[in-house]
Structure 1
């Protein structure tokens, strides 16, 4: 059986400031690195065969911390990078609402219909994310795979794998370094764990 561990990157400064990160390269905070270390320790009990990551630094650094603990190299896949938010990138939620209220309202209420100036559509993100996952799973049949990526694309991937419409995008939550586990059965993928952050319970 193939098992996929789909993980969001650790905390960044822009996460704290509620800024749209998207395709911008933003480093982990010290807390973000600590989150990744705790995740790595909690995953020592699993037999992991391969690690893949988005090519953006915050995901790649998180993946490298896992790889160091598991003694595995990290393979970068640009198809796993976060959704591009175009003109919104670097802006806080308040700034986006102030300057792009109409577009922001659609994004928050009907994300699958949103057209962000200069950015990607959610369906486009889902398509490239699913393609990356399908390729990875095909290459690693009957193995345990870690994939480190980003909140928006992970949510879109999970919805796609579960055959759930993208309109339910905001029904899923993805915290920093959360772990989602998907098992591939004979009848298709099964979501076993969603947004697991038990490894962070003892953080002060």
Structure 2
């Protein structure tokens, strides 16, 4: 059986400032590196055969912290990167709401219909995300795989795997360094855990 550990990157300063990061490179914060270290200490108890990561710094840095603890090399894949938010990148949610109210309203109420200026559509993010995950699964059948990516990308992938419409995008939560375990059984994929952050429970 193939196991996929789908993990969101650690916290960044922009996460705490509620800024749209998208395809911009933003490094992990001190807190984000600590979160990744706690996750690495947890995951060392699991048998992981390979690690893949988005090529954006916040995901790759998280993956490297995990890889060092697990003594496993990290492979970068651009198909795992976050959704591009176009003109919104770098702006706070309040600034986006103020300057792009019409587009923001659609994004928050009907994300599957949103057409963010200069950005990607959610369906395109899901398409490339699923294609990338399927390629990884095909290449590593029977292995335990770790993939480090981003909130929007992961949620769209999970909805695709579960064959749930993208209109349900906001019904899934993805916290920093959360773990989603998906088992690929002979009758199809099964979601075992979702948004698991047990390793962060003792953080004050």
What TM-score bracket applies, with the shorter chain setting the length? over 0.9
State the match for 2:133 in structure 1: 133
Q: Give, in whole Å, the separation in 2 of the partners of 1:56 and 1:74.
A: 13
Deviations 1:36-80 (A, max 9, x none): 000010111110000000000000000000000000000000000
Deviation of 1:150 (Å) = 0.1
Q: Return the offset for 1:183.
A: 0.1
Distance 2:43 2:56 in 1: 22
Q: 2:179 matched to which residue of 1?
A: 179
What whole-Å deviation, never above 9, does each CA across 1:126-152 have from its counterpart, x for those lacking one? 000000000000000000000000000
| TM-score with structure 2 setting the length | 1.00
**Corresponding residue number in structure 2 for 1:73:** 73
Q: Which runs of 5 or more residues in structure 1 are unaligned?
A: none
2:10, 2:135 → 1: CA distance? Answer: 25
Helix, strand or coil at the partner of 1:192? strand
- CA–CA distance in structure 2, aligned partners of residues 162 and 187 of structure 1: 13
Name the counterpart of 1:83. Answer: 83
Give the number of equivalent residue pairs.
Answer: 204
How far off its partner does 1:203 sit?
A: 1.3
| TM score, norm. by length of structure 1 | 1.00
1:10-42 deviations in Å (ceiling 9; x for gaps): 000000000000000000000000000000101
* In structure 1, C-alpha distance between the alignment counterparts of 2:68 and 2:44, rounded to whole Å: 11
Partner of 2:152: 152
Alpha-carbon offset, residue 187 of structure 1 = 1.1
